[in-house]
Amino acid sequence: MYRLEVIATNLAEAVAAQTGGAHSVEVCVDLAAGGLTPPLEVVRAIRDAVTIDINMMVRPHAESFYYSPHDIDLILQQAEAATSIGVTSIVFGALTSNREVDAALVQQVKTAAGGLRLTFHRALDEAVNPTQGILALRGQAERLLCSGGAPDIWQGREQMGRWVRQFGDQFTFACAGGVTLANLPELVRITGAPEYHVGSAARAQGVVQVENVRALADVLQHIE
């Protein structure tokens, strides 16, 4: 079964995502910046209201994916706080100053989060060698949410398919960055990824709509 994830920035959007048939929500704020750490009270409210999986973004700012010691202290605090909420995973990504995947920091964050499942996000697409980055994440991240090393998933669809075939037994891959109702069937055919992550495709006037989510979920449900 293919799974649909919807970005939710508040309780109402998470409920709409579940009602429409999403299998998970990624909870974050500030979509214009690519998603930042949400207030913990919002995450708790969502956890109390929905039964689907909740993946919580841990990202203190959008300046870059290279973090200062002060940033890291905050990141570790946020990751630790996630353990008391009952989320399914934390969503985190970091690069070194040389734009390599910062596997050491990922391990620190995973430890701070009490071993919670970790999704490494689209920082992977900005890595100088994303395939090498995937190798570095083995045993640390369980899920990779990315666009195949490209600016959007349509451009990266062929590479994403190669990664799924090569590493799909070690990671759960989620296609992200420009998944739409129109391109969803072709993305499934080419990538074979088990999960599809949507933002604007689930929205109208910037707000998650049940009918938009349902349309996306129906497509995935009827793909064999």
pLDDT recorded at residue 224: 72
CB 100 within 8 A of CB 129: yes
CATH of the domain at 95: 3.20.20.380
Residue type, 140: Q
**Secondary structure element (H or E) that encloses residue 144, with its range:** strand 143-146
Q: Which long-range contacts (CB under 8 A, 24 or more apart) does 10-14 make?
A: 10/42, 11/42, 11/45, 11/46, 11/49, 12/207, 12/208, 13/207, 13/208, 14/46, 14/49, 14/50, 14/54
DSSP β-ladder status, 203-204 and 207-208 = antiparallel
In eight-state DSSP terms, residue 114 is T
Cα–Cα dist 141/139, whole Å:
6
For range 106-135, the mean pLDDT:
96
Is 166 exposed, middle or buried, given 0-12, 13-18 or 19+ CB atoms closer than 10 A?
exposed
For range 78-83, the mean pLDDT:
94
Its domain, for residue 38, covers: 3-221
Per-residue pLDDT at 1 exceeds 90: no
For range 110-127, the mean pLDDT:
95
Q: How confident is the model at residue 131 (pLDDT cuts 50, 70, 90)?
A: very high
pLDDT recorded at residue 115: 82
Q: Which residues are paired to 204 by β-bridges?
A: 207
Per-residue pLDDT at 137 exceeds 80: yes
For range 36-64, the mean pLDDT:
97
Q: If DSSP codes are grouped into helix, strand and coil, which group holds residue 68? A: coil
Cα–Cα dist 31/20, whole Å:
20
Cα–Cα dist 182/196, whole Å:
13
CB 147 within 8 A of CB 125: yes
pLDDT digits (tens, 9 = 90+) for 142-192: 999 999 999 999 999 999 999 999 999 999 999 999 999 999 999 999 999
Owner of token pair 């990671």: 171
| Number of separate domains in the chain | 1
Q: How confident is the model at residue 136 (pLDDT cuts 50, 70, 90)?
A: very high
pLDDT digits (tens, 9 = 90+) for 178-213: 999 999 999 999 999 999 999 999 999 999 999 999
Prediction pTM value = 0.97
pLDDT recorded at residue 162: 98
For range 84-108, the mean pLDDT:
96
pLDDT digits (tens, 9 = 90+) for 40-50: 999 999 999 99
Q: Which residues are paired to 119 by β-bridges?
A: 91, 143
